[in-house]
Amino acid sequence: MHKNRGFILLELIVALTILGLGFSVLFASMSGSARNIDRLQKFQSREQAAENLLAELDLVRSIRFSDSAHGTFQDGTRWRIDIQPYVKRVEDVDGLVRIVLRLEWDGKTGTQSETIETYRRTRNTTAPLTLDNELRDLQK
């Protein structure tokens, strides 16, 4: 018998099994990377939409204490803005307000949320429009 006749069937099956396992590990890691990229793109889109919404607040004529607004971004993320006095005991004077933006979205593990706080100098007036209405007017 010749020992150099090539692979026998058993060696060929073992080699194909090892090759198959290698490809399955490679494809699984590529799939995980694709999911991570998708999740990162959604995060960046959500953050950009939140930044744009906060920038729109600069165009609002007046922000009243205890006012609020809410809505939904194009990707389905729900948002709510609450205006609070920076210092609770001086609500009726001009000054700083705390703007609390809360984002909520449906994630893989249920509802997820993020809260962004920022501060603005404003005048506390009795404007005829609510913050919700003023933001809607700006978005038209």
The answer to whether position 38 is within a domain reads yes
Structural domains of the chain, count:
1
The reported pTM is: 0.66
pLDDT at 115 over 80: yes
Range of the domain at 42: 9-139
**Helix pair angle (131-139, 9-56), 10° resolution:** 110
| Residue 94, in any domain of the structure | yes
* Other CB atoms within 10 A of residue 42 CB: 15
Instruction: Indicate whether 80 belongs to any domain.
Output: yes
1 occurs within a structural domain = no
Is the distance from CB of 133 to CB of 63 less than 8 angstroms? no
pLDDT of residue 103: 95
**Residue 123: inside a domain:** yes
Q: How far is CA 84 from CA 10, 31, 68, 89, 92, in A?
A: 75, 44, 9, 11, 12
Which amino acid is located at 33 in the chain?
Answer: S
Q: What is the pLDDT of residue 90?
A: 53
Question: What pLDDT digit, counting tens, does each position of 44-56 carry?
Answer: 999 999 999 999 8
